[in-house]
């Protein structure tokens, strides 16, 4: 059963994870075998500007959910982030066993969430890097939003774009398939064979500037207004997370062949619809 918050509608049940009695009531009545915990404040800047709300959601509600799942005998799968690692030059790729050292408050709260999940007997952590996929608005993803930059929706003459930090843009559908794999293993009683801290990433290495050039190529747009900034951005943590053992990365070279994206009329109406490329024989 899916649960959401501000966008809950239809089959998506509304649940405020910071309302512990509501969470307890829903889980006690539905008795799920597997709970996938995706909710978080994930913008490093918003985390800093509202630390109390961030702690309530990222830390406290995760601790409560962990304890509740343990009491009800449910397996909790917790989505975490590569921001638990510092991202210093030359250190990546990080193995799941690498000692953590978050570079910012967001990473600290996600690491605290990891610890409460791992303190329970049946909790699993899945770390993922920067994500893209189907969205309502491009600003929901740090990758999708680059499409707005390519379309130059703000009408800027020049945009400086990070060309230093290596990203591994990973598709949310691929993460969902990994989650299904993990859930099925636990459901079938084979979950114990998996490590309790898992990491999944695509294998495409790209800076944000390089992502812009790919998107510009796909959309048939010029990229002249975007200037590569090759200086170190200390806020950017670029890491390669070891994959779970299944190659699920996208073939970005084939993305340009997706004619559907070329015909998009405006920045807001064009989404990264090549997430569907797999069905046309691209991707895996
Ligand atoms: N986005 C990335 O690049 C990225 C990278 C690495 C890891 N992650 C991790 O992946 C997970 C998903 O991130 P995301 O990118 O999907 O974040 P997001 O787009 O900001 O979405 C946050 C989610 O949390 C829900 N939520 C917010 N407050 C809630 C509350 N009080 N009770 C219940 N649900 C609440 C929201 O539901 P509504 O929309 O219904 O309000 C939304 O589904 C997070 O754990 C994040 O740390 C994300």
Q: What domains lie within the chain, and their CATH numbers?
A: 1-128 (3.40.50.720)
Q: Closest ligand 1 atom, CA of 106?
A: 47
Q: Whose CA is nearest to atom 26 of ligand 1?
A: 39
Which residues, in sequence order, are bridge partners of residue 127? 80, 199
- pLDDT score of 133 more than 70: yes
Question: What mean pLDDT comes out for the span 259-266?
Answer: 28
Residues 261, 218 contacting (CB under 8 angstroms): yes
Is the distance from CB of 109 to CB of 59 less than 8 angstroms? yes
Residue 221, classed as helix, strand or coil, is coil
pLDDT above 50: residue 8: yes
> By mean pLDDT, which of 2-16, 29-43, 247-261 is the weakest?
247-261
The answer to whether residue 80 scores a pLDDT higher than 60 is yes
**How many CA atoms lie within 13 Å of 33's alpha carbon, on the beta-carbon side?**
10
Identify the residue with better confidence: 193 or 275.
Answer: 193
Mean pLDDT, the chain, rounded, equals 81
The helix/strand/coil state of 273 is: helix
Instruction: Count how many residues are written for the chain.
Output: 284
Label residue 192 by pLDDT band (50, 70, 90): confident
pLDDT at 234: 52
pLDDT at 212 over 50: yes
Pick the residue with more confidence: 195 or 246? 195
Taking the centre of ligand 1 as the mean of its atom positions, its distance from the CA of residue 249, in whole angstroms, is 22
pLDDT band at 233 (very low <50, low <70, confident <90, very high): low
- For the record, the structure tokens of 159 come out as 């945009």
Out of 122-126, 164-168, 192-196, 239-243, least confident range? 239-243
Question: How many of the other CB atoms lie within 10 Å of CB of 274?
Answer: 24
- Helices (H), ranges, the chain: 20-30, 44-49, 51-54, 61-72, 105-118, 145-151, 172-187, 208-219, 252-255, 259-262
The pLDDT > 90 percentage for the chain reads 56
Average pLDDT over residues 11-19: 96
pLDDT over 60 at 109, yes or no? yes
Q: What is the pLDDT, as a whole number, of residue 51? A: 97
CA of 180 to the centre of ligand 1 (A): 18
In tens, the pLDDT along 33-78 reads: 999 999 999 999 999 999 999 999 999 999 999 999 999 999 999 9
Q: How far apart are CA 26 and CA 3, in angstroms?
A: 10
- Residue-level pLDDT at 58: 98
* Whole-prediction pTM: 0.85
Percentage of the residues of the chain whose pLDDT score is greater than 70? 81
Residue 257, pLDDT above cutoff 80: no
| Distance separating alpha carbons of residues 129 and 159, to the nearest angstrom | 24
Probe ligand 1: pick from 23, 26, 39, 197, max atoms within 8 Å of CB? 39
Task: Compute the average pLDDT of residues 165-182.
Answer: 90
How high is the pLDDT of residue 75? 96
Average pLDDT over residues 116-140: 92
Rg of the Cα atoms in the chain: 19
* Catalytic residue positions, numbered: 106
Alpha carbon of 227 to ligand 1 centroid (Å): 30
Q: Residue 253's pLDDT is what?
A: 34
Cβ of 224: how many Cβ atoms within 10 Å?
Answer: 10
């Amino acid at each position: 059963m899916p649960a959401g918050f501000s966008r809950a509608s239809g089959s998506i049940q509304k649940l405020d994870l910071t309302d512990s009695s509501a969470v307890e009531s829903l889980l006690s009545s539905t008795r799920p075998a597997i709970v996938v915990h995706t909710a978080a404040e994930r913008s490093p800047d918003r985390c800093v500007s509202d630390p109390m709300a961030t702690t309530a959601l990222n830390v406290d509600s995760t601790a409560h959910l962990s304890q509740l799942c343990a009491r009800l005998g449910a397996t909790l799968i917790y989505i975490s982030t590569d921001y638990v690692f510092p991202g210093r030059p030359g250190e990546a790729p990080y193995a799941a066993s690498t000692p953590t050292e978050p570079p910012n408050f967001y990473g600290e709260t996600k690491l605290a969430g990891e610890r409460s999940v791992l303190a329970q007997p049946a909790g699993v952590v899945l770390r993922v890097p920067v994500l893209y996929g189907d969205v309502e608005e491009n600003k929901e993803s740090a990758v999708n939003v680059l499409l707005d930059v390519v379309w130059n929706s703000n009408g800027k003459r020049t945009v400086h774009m990070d060309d230093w930090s290596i990203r591994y843009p990973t598709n949310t559908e691929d993460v969902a398939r990994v989650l299904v794999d993990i859930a099925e293993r636990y459901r079938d009683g084979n979950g114990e064979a998996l490590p309790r801290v898992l990491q999944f990433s695509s294998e495409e290495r790209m800076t944000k500037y390089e992502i812009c050039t790919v998107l510009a190529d796909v959309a048939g747009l010029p990229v002249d207004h975007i200037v590569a900034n090759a200086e170190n951005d200390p806020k950017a943590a670029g890491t390669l997370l070891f994959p779970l053992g299944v190659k699920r990365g996208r073939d970005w070279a084939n993305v340009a062949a997706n004619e559907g994206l070329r015909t998009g009329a405006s920045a807001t109406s064009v989404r990264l619809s090549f997430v569907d490329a797999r069905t046309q024989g691209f991707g895996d």
